[in-house]
Structure 1
Amino acid sequence: MLHLLNLLAAIALLVWATQIVRTGVLRLFGEDLRRMLAASMGAWPKAMLAGLGVTCLVQSSTATALIVSSFVGRGLVATAPALVVMLGADVGTSVMALVYSFDLSWLSPLLIFMGVITYVSREKTSTGRVGQISIGLGLITLALQLIVANTGPLVQAPLVRTLLVTLPNDLPMELLVGALLAMASYSSLAVVLLVATLADQGLVPVPTALGLVLGANIGRAAVSMLSVWRSDVATRRLPLGNLLFKGLAVLLIAPFLGLVHVWLQDGIGVVLMQVVLFNLAFNAAQAILFVPFTGLLAAALERWLKVPPSTDDRAPRHLDKLALGTPSIALSCAAREALRQADAVETMLRGVLPVIRNNDLDLAARLRQMEEVVDALYTAIKLYLTQVSRTALSERESQRWTEIVSFTINMEQIGDIIERVLQDVEDKKIRKQRSFSDAGMAEITHLHERLLANLRLGMSVFLDGHVRDAQKLLEEKARFRELEHEYASTHLNRLQDNTAASIETSSLHLDLISELKRINSHICSIAYPILEPAGALTPTRLRASRMGGLDEEVRAHAR
């Protein structure tokens, strides 16, 4: 009983260790891996090598499948090259199983020791992530040693030997068990290593082990399919295609499995290597055989799974739930959606002036409805970011998380202000058939132009994070305040001169330039999350820098 419990614990350790490695690699290199995959979607050899290489790093073809599926879902890559990447990813998992089949017992304590020291001392840094990966690799090799140590006594037990003799040679059952094990552990790599080790120790017959390995391959594809089951139609294409390829490959080899077993016995003396090399040969043959047919399958998938036209602008387009396990990718998705929210705000702001000039009630109504889009995107981005584990973020990623939250809050508040401005213009000017004076209209036009320029600069600051641009943006806060005071004063002068148009629209004019100043303040607030970590802010003012000092009045007003 104790040996069985130890074996189960070793299996659990193996599964957990593969998860540690996958998580560590994705957090450390997630964005780089994504760019590597995106840049390798040309010729099929390059795409296949990219899938193989990324999978060897993350220890999971499922993780590769989820990343590439998100590309397909967002229209960044076509389905056919993505299928080639997945064929390479399957080979990559098999290569790692082969690597771990060698005796790495001497390496395990070194990896764990160095990994723990590195991770504990520098947990939040990239070096700490490398330590986490090192711990996971060491635990994988340790788990394999524990499995070998505890299967020996089990094989000698009379009850176990009796069970082994009575095991049915039933391939469908072996496929089902192997698939369920891979789905339960979320790792076909762990299942293949486990099955190979058990076969080497005599606990599982080799023919049964081969059937279990084929089942684990099907389970790996099924996990990817289930992971995207609730995603959009386009995202589901790649996992479904991969599952179809895998199922067809199993059907093709199943009639010859007995012959394959004979070949393995004749050519390879070590049982462990028989199972591992069979897994590698199966996936390599699948890749070579099916690469010419990826285009045909992709066309069929696109016919079967057609993307319905989307007319709801409030629905997020870039918040990929598959990316939540990889913070760097998830933050990129949130940033793209935040820029889409800003585009909606810019459309609203740009339309304010035509509404004022042309008394356009229809345009005002359409622009006010867009505020619902801004609010909906803000809510979606906020909820998406709350699902990103803050403890898994590096220092730079934590800063970016804050920047995105701050940006979306400011955009949402700007949308609220614009909606209020449009309602005031409609109630106090259009319906009462009033007009601004020529001078007053010129002032509003000037402020509006500066606002649009500042919003574009703010979007650039958010996207690139350049300190110099952030300083320029914050300078605009004081300059805009000066313009507000100047235009309020000239408006009062027009009132003293009894200008009729100015008297009729006085309240609206003053409220309008005040609201425009508030919008500008929210735009300029985009600079704070950029400038504060750079040390360009004191508690009350901007600090002069060599990149361009600010005059005394700006520094006194900047908050």
Structure 2
Amino acid sequence: MQATRVLLELAGNVVLLLWGLHMVQSGLTRALGGDLRRILGAGLRNRWTAFLSGMGITMLLQSSTATGLMATGFTANGLVSLMPALAVMLGANVGSTLIVQVLAFDVTHVAPVLLLGGFLAFRRGGRTRSRDLGRVAIGLGLMLLSLHLLVATIAPAENAPMLRRMLGMLTADPVVAVLLAAILSWAAHSSVAAILLIASLAGGGVIGPEAAVAMVAGANLGSAINPIVEGPGGDGHNPAARRLPVGNLVNRIAGCLIVLPLLGPITAGLQTLSPDATRLAANFHLAFNLAMAALFIGPLPWFARVLTRLFPERVAVADPGMPLYLDRSALRVPHLAIANAAREALRMADAVDSMLRGALDVLHSDDRKRVQEIRRMDDVLDRLHDAIKHYLTQINVEDLDERDARRVSDVLTFTINLEHVGDIVDRNLMEAASKKIRRKLRFSTEGAAEIAGMLERLSETQRLAAAVFVSGDIRSARALMREKEVIRDLETSATEAHFARLRAGRTESVETSALHLDILRDLRRINAHLVAAAYPVLDQSGELLPSRLKHGATHG
């Protein structure tokens, strides 16, 4: 019964540790995520600066996984080569050891200060970044508190012989100890949490020094499994996306294979350095990752070439409706996931532009095959829109700050409007084109020119809308908003000219009157959906009234 109680208390304390770690990571990602990503991007020039960048960012984020996601994003997008990305992972692994080094010291007395300061910053902070940093302080306080509770829980374990026997049996075999710790680290999604638990167990005398060393090696192995299982490259994705996580896993496996035969001498050397069992686990974690970095950083160019040959780029027939940037593993880092969704939304914008230009071609050529091609492009838009919507809804709402939540809303609104444009082109413009072709109708020369002029203007408006969506530039948003008046004036002018041709008895105008007016109305509807990309930018700047722009906002 006592062993069960101790195990339950251990589990609860580990959960508290993981929650504190999550708060630190999410708070720093919100407060500094964009800056950290830029720093990492700048540091990827060569393997040495990449190593240092990975180490520094991991010390801040307290997660080598989050750093790895950033590096994977750079490599997957072709922005950097594999070699510096591998160096980032080596640095990230060393960075996680420095976190453990700090937390392994008894700094429990700092926890109340961090909790109180973090709470005040979170509740009273006027700025979003102050609240995010308050969240970080609360997370650190919870981590220190959980470590104190872990030690307090493990202390009576000496009086629980059943628990000691059970853990002794599980860790007696070094291979079993490695696998047990790997499973623990994989399940917790955090090598830091797993190693702090191992250090606490060793400090309490529940496991022996050799078992602690073996389990630390296993925890490092387990942290490399999650990116393989949950990261990109599976489910038909490009195998090249697996190069970085597989390279990191090979590094971890090599380390375990080196440690197991030398377990006795390594443990003896560490005990000479520090007899404290808690420090022994932390020191070995540092030594393990420094040794692996020293072993691998030299042959990284060769290692990168081997991984490139083992996981070549997949050459497949391009499917325009298949998402390219919706990396599932980035969902844990909201600002990266939102950026991925925005990039996918721009593919929708490109498809809309192709549909508008295709509609202009159909107007001149009466090509039935071209009509079907454009209609199939609406299916592409629908698939991309559904994928983006599903992807964004998988982001944990609790991880979103106000700015991220607003950007999610903007991306969804932009894609919804693009999907509506595709529907109008498919169901209205192409239906009108099909009728025109079937009935062998002809627009008047002037009428065809009016429609063509509006379509060309809409194509320019679409490109401007995409630019506003990406940049959030206020001047571009004002220019986009003015397109609403421009298209309305063009429609009014074209309608009046059409009625003038009807009064003049022009045969082409009489035969195509219904089609002509329907197309003009549909083009105005398309323009309204495109112009909507300006609303979020103008709303944030305070220039958007419920029904119109403030007087004079379109000037300047």
Q: TM-score, normalised by structure 1?
A: 0.92
| Contact 1:124-1:393 at 8 Å conserved across structures | no
Change (3 A) 1:145 1:267: same
- The residue number in structure 1 matching 2:61 is 58
Shift of 1:57: 1.5
Alignment of 1:56-135 (within 5 A): 56-122=59-125, 125-135=128-138
Q: Distance in 2 between matches of 1:403 and 1:168?
A: 52
Alignment of 1:146-545 (within 5 A): 146-157=149-160, 169-228=172-231, 230=234, 232=237, 233-308=239-314, 309-545=316-552
Equivalent position amino acid for 1:489 in 2: E
SS at match of 1:106: helix
The percent identity for this pair of structures is 40
- The residue number in structure 1 matching 2:49 is 46
Equivalent position amino acid for 1:248 in 2: A
Please say which of residues 221-230 and 463-472 is displaced more in the overlay: 221-230
Q: Distance in 2 between matches of 1:444 and 1:158?
A: 87
Change (3 A) 1:132 1:123: farther
Q: Distance in 2 between matches of 1:28 and 1:61?
A: 18
Please say if 1:11 is aligned against 2:11: no
Equivalent position amino acid for 1:347 in 2: S
Q: Distance in 2 between matches of 1:259 and 1:389?
A: 46
Please say which of residues 43-52 and 28-37 is displaced more in the overlay: 28-37
* Aligned partner of 1:21 among 21, 24, 28: 24
Q: Distance in 1 between matches of 2:82 and 2:443?
A: 57
Please say which of residues 269-278 and 336-345 is displaced more in the overlay: 269-278
Change (3 A) 1:452 1:546: closer
For residues 251-293 of structure 1, give each alpha carbon's deviation from its aligned partner in whole angstroms, at most 9, with x where no partner exists: 1232222111221222323332222111101101100111122
| Contact 1:126-1:394 at 8 Å conserved across structures | no
Change (3 A) 1:452 1:166: closer
Shift of 1:117: 2.2
| Contact 1:123-1:129 at 8 Å conserved across structures | no
* Aligned partner of 2:146 among 143, 146, 156: 143
For residues 160-194 of structure 1, give each alpha carbon's deviation from its aligned partner in whole angstroms, at most 9, with x where no partner exists: 66678777642111111111111122211112112
| Contact 2:217-2:259 at 8 Å conserved across structures | no
Q: Distance in 1 between matches of 2:9 and 2:308?
A: 48
Q: Distance in 1 between matches of 2:205 and 2:76?
A: 45
| Contact 2:240-2:313 at 8 Å conserved across structures | yes
Change (3 A) 1:189 1:326: same
| Contact 1:70-1:235 at 8 Å conserved across structures | no
Q: How many residues align?
A: 549
Q: Distance in 1 between matches of 2:171 and 2:420?
A: 68
Equivalent position amino acid for 1:20 in 2: M
For residues 326-368 of structure 1, give each alpha carbon's deviation from its aligned partner in whole angstroms, at most 9, with x where no partner exists: 2211111111111110100001101212211122222222122
SS at match of 1:519: helix
Please say which of residues 346-355 and 496-505 is displaced more in the overlay: 496-505
- Unmatched 5+ stretches in structure 2: none
Q: TM-score, normalised by structure 2?
A: 0.93
Equivalent position amino acid for 1:351 in 2: G
Please say which of residues 405-414 and 255-264 is displaced more in the overlay: 255-264
| Contact 1:474-1:524 at 8 Å conserved across structures | yes
Please say which of residues 90-99 and 531-540 is displaced more in the overlay: 531-540
